[in-house]
Chain A
Amino acid sequence: QVQLQESGPGLVKPSQTLSLTCTVSGGSISSGSYYWSWIRQPAGKGLEWIGRIYTSGSTNYNPSLKSRVTISVDTSKNQFSLKLSSVTAADTAVYYCARGFGVFGGGMDVWGQGTTVTVSS
């Protein structure tokens, strides 16, 4: 079965770019009609959808983050990535990657375990 694993630095300095990668195992990132998302959760708070990408390269982003976010996919490595620029302490959170199904409906049915990113000097 498909599994997702986030990886990347746990500590990022303010104003720098946060970079995370999600590795897909147990299946091809290109198979099926799936999309690949990033979601984050500050400690003790709720979930925030960051954005998603299809293997075609088509993306959708949360408007509140759109100016700072880039999500990309590397099908040869079975990975997709998140870049969030100009980070501040408000970007400190657990970051999850997830697989979604359905162009408009559906949901996110496979999640990574999450990785904690702290923004601090």
Chain B
Amino acid sequence: QSALTQPASVSGSPGQSITISCTGTSSDVGGYNYVSWYQQHPGKAPKLMIYDVSNRPSGVSNRFSGSKSGNTASLTISGLQAEDEADYYCSSYTSSSTLYVVFGGGTKLTVL
């Protein structure tokens, strides 16, 4: 069981927008502005898409955006493209016992 809760799957049509949620607690998502999001295509290594809740690394499309409210963080992808079909993972620091990183269980995005 993952420390952060994500929906198992989401889907959308090309051009639409989708949002993936990531729910934690006040010890992780709610306690720090340190949520990051990773995209993983099958058989590939994860790729950092968002860090510190809403910052995009250089080279990441501005179609990807992040936000947070309370204990829930969200990743929004606008203008869906076929290449966006992948697994998405959120992560956060947690201080529940000691400082370390926790991931969500992952969300499979299907572009219809």
Contacts and interface: CB of A to CB of B under 8 A. Distances in A.
A105 B105 contact: no
For the residues of A in contact with B, the DSSP-based class is strand
Interface stretch (B12-20, B45-53, B67-75): B45-53
A96 interface: yes
B104 A107 contact: no
A32 interface: no
B32 A104 contact: yes
Contacts of B103: 46-49
Given A46-B105, A47-B106, A61-B100, A105 B45 contact: no
Contacts, number: 72
Nearest to B49: A107
Nearest to B36: A107
A8 interface: no
A71 to B, nearest CB: 12
Contacts of B50: 107
B93 interface: yes
A20 to B, nearest CB: 15
Nearest to A51: B100
29 contacts: A46-B2, A46-B89, A46-B104, A46-B105, A46-B106, A47-B89, A49-B100, A49-B102, A51-B100, A61-B100, A62-B101, A63-B97, A96-B46, A102-B51, A104-B32, A104-B34, A104-B93, A105-B52, A106-B36, A106-B52, A107-B38, A107-B50, A107-B51, A108-B46, A108-B48, A109-B48, A109-B57, A111-B47, A113-B45
Interface of B: 2, 32-34, 36, 38, 45-48, 50-52, 57, 89, 91, 93, 97-106
Given A49-B91, A105-B52, A111-B45, 17 more contacts: A39-B46, A46-B103, A46-B104, A47-B38, A47-B106, A49-B101, A61-B98, A102-B34, A102-B51, A104-B34, A105-B33, A106-B52, A107-B38, A109-B48, A109-B57, A111-B46, A111-B47
